[in-house]
């Protein structure tokens, strides 16, 4: 459609790469598109490309390449401060590790997500990510009886809601912290 102009204009080149990726629907084509968009600062489009590549790699049972695509996508999410897309990307990344019984890698992915979300002040999402990490550590046989990070974040979420004048979410968040700590007591050996 754009002819030879694509060689000289990064936007047109990106559009051409995206058109090729949509038509081919190959992970390699999506990775080429994603890399260009990440380099040019079009972060939402880069994340879309890495996500599409990862899903296609997963479909082809190439979990190592899928994990690499998701890790690249997560890096872009962090750079762009994209909270919700980061949750989706890490969910897929951790799922690969969990299905492969690599609970440590799954927990690590969730902890990195939790740290990023906490840094963004997204305490609910951070607490949820750390609870997923705890679940993965526990599934891998690790003692989590002193893993208080989820409760700490649920408490911070309650404080956020208290300051925002939302007592029902404050109460819910405090109760969620208590439930998590009660669960930890049951894991003590």
**pLDDT for residue 188:** 80
Residue burial 79-103, b: 16+ Cβ < 10 Å; e: rest: ebebbebbbbbbebbbbbbbeeebb
Residue 24 has pLDDT above 60, yes or no: yes
- Supply the pTM of this predicted model: 0.92
The per-residue pLDDT for range 47-93, each reduced to its tens digit, is 999 999 999 999 999 999 999 999 999 999 999 999 999 999 999 99
Interior CA angle at 48 toward 111 and 104, to 5°? 20
The CA dihedral of 135, 139, 143, 147, to the nearest 10 degrees, is -10
Residue 108 has pLDDT above 80, yes or no: yes
Residue 162: both structure tokens together: 């208290």
The model's confidence at residue 1, banded by pLDDT at 50, 70 and 90, is low
46 contacts 34 by C-beta, under 8 angstroms: yes
Work out the angle between the directed axes of helices 43-59 and 27-40 (0-180°, nearest 10). 160
The per-residue pLDDT for range 177-189, each reduced to its tens digit, is 999 999 999 998 6
Distances (CA, A) of 82 to 102, 117, 121, 141, 161: 26, 9, 12, 32, 22
């Amino acid at each position: 459609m754009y002819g030879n102009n694509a060689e000289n204009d990064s936007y047109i080149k990106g559009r051409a790469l995206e058109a090729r990726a949509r038509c081919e629907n190959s992970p390699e084509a999506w990775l080429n598109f994603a890399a260009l968009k990440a380099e040019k600062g079009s972060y939402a489009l880069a994340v879309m490309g890495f996500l599409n590549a990862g899903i296609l790699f997963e479909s082809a049972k190439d979990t190592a390449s899928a994990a690499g695509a998701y890790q690249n996508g997560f890096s872009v999410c962090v750079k762009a401060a994209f909270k919700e897309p980061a949750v989706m990307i890490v969910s897929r990344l951790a799922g690969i590790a969990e299905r492969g019984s690599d609970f440590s890698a799954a927990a690590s992915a969730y902890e990195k997500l939790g740290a990023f979300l906490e840094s963004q002040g997204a305490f609910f999402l951070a607490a949820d990510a750390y609870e997923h990490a705890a679940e993965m550590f526990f599934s891998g046989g690790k003692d989590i009886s002193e893993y208080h990070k989820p409760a700490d974040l649920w408490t911070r979420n309650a404080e956020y809601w208290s300051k925002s004048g939302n007592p029902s979410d404050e109460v819910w968040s405090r109760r969620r912290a208590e439930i998590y700590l009660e669960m930890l007591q049951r894991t003590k050996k």
